[in-house]
Amino acid sequence: MVDQPDTKTEVRFDCTGTATGKMRNDLDVRMVKPWAETFTLATDEGPFHGGDATAPPPLALFVGGLVGCLMTQIRAFAKRLRITVHALQVDARIRWEWTPEPNKLYSTAPKGFELDITLDSDADETRVKELIAAAKRGCFLEQTLGRANVITHRLKTADGWTDV
């Protein structure tokens, strides 16, 4: 087990994705700060996008990541707060709006992220709510979704990198 840092610390992941099939992407995901870990993941799409469905689509990994992040934080923080969790289930409804555009393109927009938590514990409701509040603060994905973010994109050209 890795010790928790004593001060504010940057957490950084890097990922290299390589197109390896019709729509399949093999992903080398690396946690580089505050310690090193490596994960190999894949995404694919089904026939709608011309893929072979050899791996989950990116949205499935996104939704699973959000639910898994919150569940992990609940259990990790329960230990730290000395709250016993006998059973835990999270049911999520994640909704987007899909709008068709010309040339068979489309645009999307988030509509809602609903997480229903079923938690069996001997702790009273006030303590359980404190636990969930702490887990929400500690869930990297939930905190990312709850804020306006700047996402930049660059394209490698013959002259170097250009913003797109």
Q: What is the rounded CA–CA span in Å between residue 21 and residue 50?
A: 10
**pLDDT tens-place values along the chain, 164 residues long:** 667 767 889 999 999 999 998 999 999 999 999 999 999 999 999 998 899 999 999 999 999 999 999 999 999 999 999 999 999 999 999 999 999 999 989 999 999 999 999 999 999 999 999 999 999 999 999 999 999 999 999 999 999 999 99
Q: Which helix (H) or strand (E) holds 58?
A: helix 58-80
- Domains annotated for the chain, with CATH where assigned, are 1-56 (no CATH), 57-148 (3.30.300.20)
Beta bridge partners of 16: 28
Beta bridge partners of 117: 90
